[in-house]
Amino acid sequence: QVQLVESGGGVVQPGRSLRLSCAASGFSFSTYAMQWVRQAPGKGLEWVALIWHDGSNKDYADSVRGRSTISRDNSKNTVYLQMNSLRVEDTAVYYCARDRSGWLHSSDIWGQGTMVTVSS
């Protein structure tokens, strides 16, 4: 079935790095743009980053631009989020989601999320 599975979360000290992964299955991964969305504990959703289907274009939220890099490996059906210089305010559940460009860029498939805790 169509599925996204995130991994790579954990507890990390401020200033350190972490790479999140999102493995896709059940659909033609290389034809879809992919996104990362995060949710701090008890807070709302925050859009984080987008990568086009072929990796040719990437966009970031101001809160992570310059510290994070979204990438993908279409041969492995996987999208990544490399996060550097982590801050306490980056603590959140990170979801990857499939972008439906034909549905006005709504996110129709979501992973279960991976928790990132930034704490000393």
Partner 1 sequence: DIQMTQSPSSLSASVGDRVTITCRASQTIDNYLNWYQQKPGKAPNLLIYGASSLRSGVPSRFSGSGSGTDFTLTINSLQPEDFATYYCQQTYTTPPWTFGQGTKVGVK
Among 30, 110, 115, 117, binds partner 1 (CB under 8 A): 110
Among 22, 111, 114, 116, binds partner 1 (CB under 8 A): 111
Contact yes or no for 60/49 (Cβ under 8 A): yes
Among 44, 56, 75, 120, binds partner 1 (CB under 8 A): 44
| Burial class of residue 61 (count of CB atoms within 10 Å of its CB; 0-12, 13-18, 19+) | middle
84 binds partner 1 (CB under 8 A): no
Question: What CA–CA distances, in Å, run from 31 to 6, 54, 58?
Answer: 19, 8, 15
Contact yes or no for 17/84 (Cβ under 8 A): yes
Among 16, 19, 87, 105, binds partner 1 (CB under 8 A): 105
The minimum distance between CB 19 and partner 1, in angstroms, equals 20
Q: Which stretch binds partner 1 (CB under 8 A): 8-16, 18-26, 68-76, 102-110?
A: 102-110
